[in-house]
Structure 1
Amino acid sequence: ELELAKLNLSLSKEEYRNELNRSTYEFKNAYQTVLASQIKTRLYYKSYIRSLKELKWIEKELGEGFLTESDKLYSESRLKEVELYLQKAKNEYSSSLRELKRQLGIIAKEKVLLSDNLLIDYILRKPPLSYQDFKSTITQNAGLKAKKELLQARIAQREKSMQDKFYLPNISLGAYLGKTSETFPLNKTNWGVYFKLAFPFGGNPGFSSNSSLNSRSNNSPDTGVNVKSRNINSLQQSDLQVPNHYSIRRKQMESHLNFRKSVYSYNSKLLNIEQGIEENLGLLNEHWNSIRLSMKTIEVKHKLLGIQQLALQVGSGKRLDVLNSELDLIKAEDFLFESLLSYLRVANHLIFITGDNTLSTTFYSYEKGKGSMKDFLSGLEDTRTNHSEKEERNTILDNTDKLILDEVTIE
């Protein structure tokens, strides 16, 4: 029973560790989603402002007869698409921030300022290409995550062993010590030891030996001298108990069944962990390739937008082309952020199913100001920022609903 109690204690500790890992996993996902939606909202807002300025120029050129009404309608449709991406980013930011506050126990109306940046402060690392490249880590950590199932199997094995040994004699040895008296202070010391041997078949014979020492330090009312006494008592007893063999057999069968189920659960957990790791490694490589592809696409769209802006300044470009390029750039950025978030979520899930938080450095790490995409983000913001806006580049957009878009003027 002592060993069983120790196993139950270890199981409770393991359940606590699993819940802590689950909370960490959910917090990472919520926090990184907030960071991603925060950057998207800021970038898309700048794109929306630029597109709105272009539309005002188009309306002015329409009044002067340089453009047609269809050109204006087409420009408005492009602007609405940009606005749609902005609204989606705002909604994602609001919902993810509420989820983050819920996990942290912060009331909804409290303001939260996040100083981290997903592109500036996170370093992404190329994941292992295959299951074999990660096999040693799987072997080392798969048992760590399945420790709960392993402890449950050991508990079931111990209970099964206890039920199988029911027909063996039960030997117990005990002792007791105490003080008693009819009045205070207590001056009679009683002590005893007992030995018990019990058989489940046909009876329960027992032998008990008790020894007691009674002492009184006060003067006797009759003789006026101290009196001490010692009594030695022995007791033999036996009683007849007929065991319920059907109940005993049922408990034995249940313990055998629970043990087999726990072993099956442990083996299934190990198999699911290995399959999950192999599947998630494949997803990680897919998202890694998507990130690289989307970054190259954004670089091309970025250069194209710059060329069209320059052509517009020298009088050979069209504002409709600038609007189209702005929208194409937003679409490419949206794909990048989705791929980036998917990569981080799969990496977090892979860490969670293995139960080893040290694996996080295998896929990404947090280093303030040394992120993999620091220069990349700076280029994206320069495309949308004029000289008067550059000083606001690092300002976190907390609530875009307060922005008054109608106050945009033509420079």
Structure 2
Amino acid sequence: MPRYLRETAELNLYRNKNTIKILVGLIAILIVVVSVYYNNFIVNILKEREHERVDMFARAIEFMAEQGDNANLTFINEQIVRGNTTIPVILADQSGEPTGAYLNLDIPDNLPEAELLQLLRDEIAQMRTANEPIQVVYRNTANQVEYVEWVFYHNSDLLRQLSYYPFIQLSTILLFGALAYLAFSFSRTAEQNRIWVGLAKETAHQLGTPLSSLMAWLEYLRADERTRQHEALPEMAKDLEKLHMITERFSNIGSVPILEHNSVPEMVQNSVTYLQKRISTKVKITISSVGNDLRAQLNPHLFSWVIENLIKNAVDAMSGIGTIDIRIAPASNNTVHIDITDNGKGISKANIKKVFEPGFTTKKRGWGLGLTLAKRIIEHYHGGRIYVKHSEPSAGTTFRIVLRA
């Protein structure tokens, strides 16, 4: 596959990551639903079997009462009645009061009768909500009903543990998956950071040679009597100084930037002054500041790049005609807010969350990395925030930068 097609495919994959996340989430939900459904299916089968065992237990009691003295009663008592070693049961009279007979309950020995009966009543209340009791009918020799008792029961510990198993299993899987996702995310982020740093430093290295040559030619023109007074030289010097500053920015990416307590209005004004002569004359830029001594911890080179990038984006959004208002004001939590507002074409609601993603652009040309780098500079290097405060299609956009004072 040609390189440009592969890069396009990778970029499309990145842009569609939300769709992929939704698809993965739906598959995960499907797996959870199927797992829980199958487990409940097995639990219901075992629950039905336990109900049948308790019913057989009740029928065995009836049979023993009807038979009286019979040699087969020992087998029934041992194999059916006493053979139940897992299902907790309590025998109660017709009114639901415990008779004192029970099996497989963790009750201390030698408990006073009053306390025992109260404990059995509490257990019966819980058993009644868990399972329907099974009736035991006692008949006389004429097959007439003499009295009725009830068998209350809990599900066995094994069945109850099995009912919790899918949730324990899924919780373990989710915890492991979350830890694995975080580990891979950190690893991927670290790898991306290394790529960013490598590209930036290589770019700075490649720009260094021609920049040095251009600076030498500028000094040559300044030394020549025929050209030293040329009006273009000061602007050429500013552009070369700007290129030198850009080279420094790229070469310093990856290292901890030096933050200084600088005047925010002054930094913004310097960036606007430089750009004003290099953008359309039909674009008007105004700066308003609530207080002249608004300072923040920032790196002048990196911060000016962010301001210039936002202004250039605003100029493109207005097609070179319109106004850009920059408002600087103090805020709570010892921060400074910088709002950059244009009256351009705005951003749709669907794209507001995407504007800072690598590769996202509405221009016919461009890499879609400007706002990504701006976000990285403000949030990673300056510990601040940058976001779309407000945007309305065909009405304009406001970006807000939050810096620590």
User: TM (normalized to structure 2)?
Assistant: 0.27
More strand by proportion, 1 or 2?
2
User: TM (normalized to structure 1)?
Assistant: 0.26
Q: Say which structure, 1 or 2, has more relative contact order (CA 8 Å, 6+ apart).
A: 1
